[in-house]
Amino acid sequence: MKITDVKTILLTGPCTNDPFLSEARKRRSAAFIEIHTDTELIGVGETYAGYFCPEAVPEIVEFFKPILIDQNPAAVQELWERMYHSGNFWCRTGLGLTVINGIEAALWDLKGKMYGLPVYELLGGKKHESLLCYATGGPSNYPKEKLAEKIAFYLSLGFKGCKLGAGSHSSEGSHLPESPNEAADFEADKIAFVRSEFGKDISIAMDGHMGNSTGYTWDTATAKAVMRALEPFNLLFFEEPLHYTDPWGYAELCRSTLIPIAGGECLTGMYEWRVFSDLDSFDIGQPDASFTGGLGEFMKVAGMLESRGKKIATHSWGAGGSFMQNLHCGFACANTAVLEIAPAFGPLHSEIIGDSFVMENGRALPPSLPGLGIRLTEKTKQNFPFVRGSGEFNSVPGKVLID
């Protein structure tokens, strides 16, 4: 079998069917890579770069395409290394490596289809019979009555836990207290309310979103104050309490609190991850198998963290390809603690995933179809044409995100 063509498919559609997440984001873009062969088999992968800067993806794919044409698609690691070396000056980390991630995922999908195996079997085999899921809840919708409705909605879908953002989001806009005492009091009051409404058995994670803060970013003193206030509430973890330019602050924070500190969704490549791993900046790492640099890179990152006694929690906020890439990697890693799951996902998830994702009693079951278990049909491509400017970014003067 040989590769005959490599194509990029950009799509735009509803961000989610979750009514609470929809208050913050109405649409999403997505970038899929198809690898065609001289057989009927086609590999499909996704790069999370398509959610942010989709317009950049096709040209980068075209840059790497000549490396792939006429090659054996089963030689995944060798082709990854050729692409990485070719762009070594500019894709050791960052956007170039993230696009390589989507290409490499398509190669794994194709290889799984060739051998009739789910991708996790090609990555070292299944390490779990099931994995705990949490509903990724985005912002904390306020007033508190709405926050309770939000959590009840996720529980009604079968989840046993969810993740809530710091601050609040309402019809009046977003609110994030800035002083250490105000932030600590606000978050403690919020989680005390959640515990009073839903009890101690529900798993609760929190997300500061400080790794890509849209406005004010907490410093270490503020993050420490918030952790002290939240320690009595038995959180699953607290994600991104600091910016990614401060791995030393993350390490200090980990040493100062009993709450597991999580992060890593914005990190790409082993080099960038190693800075955080060597400093023990995370108790729980959150690589993303559509962003970190490849499924192979994901496995290396997970192994590096495991060697230091750390767990991983997959990050997954791309579309259906990203979702399944992270699911397979989660099942292939022995130190996976929990999976991030987009609840009530929209058509750019459901039409790609089909029946491949199964959750029972709040836990994901291993996918069974060959490859990644995803399908990108011509009907889906026609129904969700790409809209330029649909990527997500932080608003600044001159460039404002409208949805």
Residue 18: give its domain's CATH number: 3.30.390.10
In a domain, 400, yes or no: no
In a domain, 170, yes or no: yes
Those residues with Cβ within 8 angstroms of residue 381's Cβ, 6 or more apart along the chain or in another chain: 9, 11
* Ramachandran area for residue 125 (φ above 0: left; ψ -120 to 50: alpha; else beta): left
Those residues with Cβ within 8 angstroms of residue 167's Cβ, 6 or more apart along the chain or in another chain: 139, 140, 174, 175, 176, 177, 186
Whether residue 149 is found in the same domain as residue 280: yes
Tell whether the model's pLDDT for residue 367 goes beyond 80. yes
Could you report the per-residue pLDDT of 147-157, keeping only the tens digit for each? 999 999 999 99
In a domain, 396, yes or no: no
Residue of higher predicted confidence among 178 and 353: 353
Whether residue 90 is found in the same domain as residue 140: no
Residue of higher predicted confidence among 259 and 399: 259
In a domain, 399, yes or no: no
The count of structural domains within the chain is 2
Give pTM, 2 decimals.
0.97
Whether residue 274 is found in the same domain as residue 154: yes
Could you report the per-residue pLDDT of 23-67, keeping only the tens digit for each? 988 999 999 999 999 999 999 999 999 999 999 999 999 999 999
In a domain, 369, yes or no: no
Whether residue 11 is found in the same domain as residue 159: no
Sequential DSSP letters for 351-384: HHHTT---EETTEEPPP-SSBT-----HHHHHHS
Whether residue 278 is found in the same domain as residue 203: yes
Whether residue 71 is found in the same domain as residue 195: no
CATH number at residue 301: 3.20.20.120
Whether residue 145 is found in the same domain as residue 265: yes
Residues 15-24 have a mean pLDDT of: 93
In a domain, 394, yes or no: no
Whether residue 260 is found in the same domain as residue 136: yes
* Helix/strand/coil for 218: coil
Whether residue 62 is found in the same domain as residue 150: no
Whether residue 64 is found in the same domain as residue 208: no
In a domain, 337, yes or no: yes
d(CA 322, CA 313): 14
Whether residue 143 is found in the same domain as residue 269: yes
Whether residue 49 is found in the same domain as residue 75: yes
Tell whether the model's pLDDT for residue 144 goes beyond 90. yes
Q: Which domain holds residue 217?
A: 121-364
Other C-beta atoms lying within 10 Å of the C-beta of residue 106 = 32
Tell whether the model's pLDDT for residue 173 goes beyond 90. no
In a domain, 240, yes or no: yes
